[in-house]
Amino acid sequence: MSRPKTVYVCRDCGYKASRWMGRCPGCDEWNSLEEQRDVHGKAQSWAVQPNAAQAITAIEAAATRRASTGVDEFDRVLGGGVVPGSLVLVGGDPGVGKSTLLLQVSHQWAAQFGTVLYISGEESPQQLKLRAERLNALHPRLLILSETDMGQILAQIRQNLPQFVVVDSIQTVFSAELASAPGSVSQVRDAAASFLALAKSTGTSIVLVGHVTKAGALAGPRVLEHMVDVVCYFEGDPNTQLRILRAVKNRFGSTNEVGIFQMGQGGLAGIPDPSSVFLAGRPRLVPGSVVFPSCEGSRILLVELQALVTPAPFGGPPRRLASGIDYNRMCMLLAVLEKRRGLGLHSHDVYCNVAGGLRIAEPAADLGIALAVASSFRNQAPVEGLVAFGEVGLAGEVRGIARVEARIKEGIRLGFNRFLLPRTESQDLKKLAGEGISLLEAASLEEALELALP
Ligand code: TYD
Ligand code: MG
């Protein structure tokens, strides 16, 4: 026998739900669902149908509703906004700006929609107030709670019924019922499971902040990745102002999306034209520097790939260093250059870098990296106005990649006029050429180097 369930009815549109939700699925009104009671004051119940399997074609699809927070780069990473009832994990190194970002998002939410509860286990209400003043993020519907005890936190959530909750950080929350220390794997998992149940049963959107920690006694955000709906990491060198929010898992959208921010006096501000920021300060006509159009989610970002090749000290093994690109991929490209093009890299140190702190995982960067290395090795700058992209195979062939047209267009927008790209039959790029734009198509690394380093 299944237990009878209480009915919740929307006071605005009459929508009936079997559980309480923060937002009515019928009319999108917040906090409008009320438990229905009969004349004797007893909660009414539904004659519950036992849960049964059903044909996938018979299920009515509901469009995912999203609340756009107004922090555009944050919304972009989540796939267009916060989904009601979702559990989002924001990980990152200490000091990168997680608390700043979420305080700004909380303020925007409070100003637009309703009650927000920002729970901090790390800072006092006074500290948070000071920060919010700096960020111009004060609002009466933004509630602050300095608490680490799970029982107290849940009680406060039940009392205030917030629509949006930030837990900063999940590692500080502990349950008195568990014997293990706060921050241990079992505590962190238990706390996250409680927040998950809360989000799903009430429709509250919850963001958990997690510090990335080195392997050890403390549990990092990795142990939670499978439990939450969205995982994003906030990256950036605290010594620079650039910050990148990157989704690595998203049940409601694409995972490649990145949000790009600049940390300033007034907190984090989205960067509307990231390519120009990544290319700012780029040296012109210098050996070892190649511009690559990187595909980040729905956007193309132009970045500078740099290589420095110097003779290795006699007798010692050559040094290889990769920053922003995969080390093994770089080694493979060095081997291809050595074997197919005869570059004597075995006796040289090679350093590769992506300027601006972006990390690139696309094989499309291969051609740019190989070209930067060859350019530095020969001490010859690539032809002017050049953008290069294409995958390089072990035989030295240049292979086709996705979104060629979009990459070329972004390059043209930023004033580049030569495009070194894979030669493939299928694409028709003729319409892009002309007006001083030249498409340098290459089928092999040999051809590519001849075109770019004549
Ligand atoms: P914080 O959000 O506390 O980082 P996290 O929560 O990830 O540990 O941000 C810390 C850094 O951000 C701190 O070094 C100061 C800097 N910062 C600014 O540069 N401008 C600002 O307006 C704020 C609030 C912080
Ligand atoms: Mg913090």
Please give the full DSSP string across 381-392, using - where no structure is assigned. Answer: PPPTTEEE--EE
Q: Ligand 1, atom 12: nearest CA belongs to which residue?
A: 97
Q: Which mutation among 93, 100, 104 tests ligand 1's pocket best, with the greatest number of atoms within 8 A of CB?
A: 100
The pLDDT of residue 219 = 61
Model pTM? 0.77
Q: What is the mean pLDDT of residues 152-170?
A: 94
Question: Which ligand is closest to the CA of 96, given by its number?
Answer: 1
Helix (H) or strand (E) holding 102: helix 98-112
Question: Which ligand is closest to the CA of 131, given by its number?
Answer: 1
Q: Where are the domains of the chain?
A: 5-43, 72-272, 277-452
Q: Which mutation among 263, 265, 268 tests ligand 1's pocket best, with the greatest number of atoms within 8 A of CB?
A: 263
> With the C-alpha atoms ordered 246, 76, 402, 308, is the resulting torsion angle positive or negative?
negative
Overall fold of domain 277-452: Ribosomal Protein S5; domain 2 (3.30.230)
Pick from 24-38, 149-163, 236-250 the range whose average pLDDT is largest. 149-163
Ligand 1 atom at shortest distance from the alpha carbon of 267: 22
Q: How many helices (H) and strands (E) does the chain have?
A: 10, 23
Least confident range from 44-53, 223-232, 370-379, 426-435: namely: 44-53
> With the C-alpha atoms ordered 51, 56, 59, 62, is the resulting torsion angle positive or negative?
positive
The pLDDT of residue 49 = 54
State whether the beta carbon of 169 lies less than 6 angstroms from ligand 1. Answer: no
State whether the beta carbon of 283 lies less than 6 angstroms from ligand 1. Answer: no
Q: Ligand 1, atom 13: nearest CA belongs to which residue?
A: 95
The pLDDT of residue 393 = 96
For the stretch 45-95, pLDDT in tens is 554 456 788 888 888 776 678 889 989 999 999 988 999 999 999 998 888
pLDDT confidence tier of residue 426, bands split at 50, 70 and 90: low
- Residues 6+ away with beta carbon under 8 Å from 309: 288, 345, 348, 349, 350, 351, 373, 376, 377
Ligand 1 atom at shortest distance from the alpha carbon of 168: 6
pLDDT confidence tier of residue 182, bands split at 50, 70 and 90: confident
Ligand 1 atom at shortest distance from the alpha carbon of 98: 7
Which CATH architecture describes the domain 72-272? 3-Layer(aba) Sandwich (3.40)
User: Alpha-carbon distance 390 to 292, whole Å?
Assistant: 10
pLDDT confidence tier of residue 193, bands split at 50, 70 and 90: very high
Q: If you measure from the C-alpha of residue 226 to the centroid of ligand 1, how many angstroms do you get, rounded to a whole number?
A: 28
Ligand 1 atom at shortest distance from the alpha carbon of 209: 6
Residue 218 predicted with pLDDT over 60: no
State whether the beta carbon of 104 lies less than 6 angstroms from ligand 1. Answer: no
Q: Ligand 1, atom 10: nearest CA belongs to which residue?
A: 95
Ligand 1 atom at shortest distance from the alpha carbon of 94: 8
Ligand 1 atom at shortest distance from the alpha carbon of 122: 6
User: Alpha-carbon distance 202 to 44, whole Å?
Assistant: 19
Q: What is the mean pLDDT of residues 134-146?
A: 94
State whether the beta carbon of 240 lies less than 6 angstroms from ligand 1. Answer: no
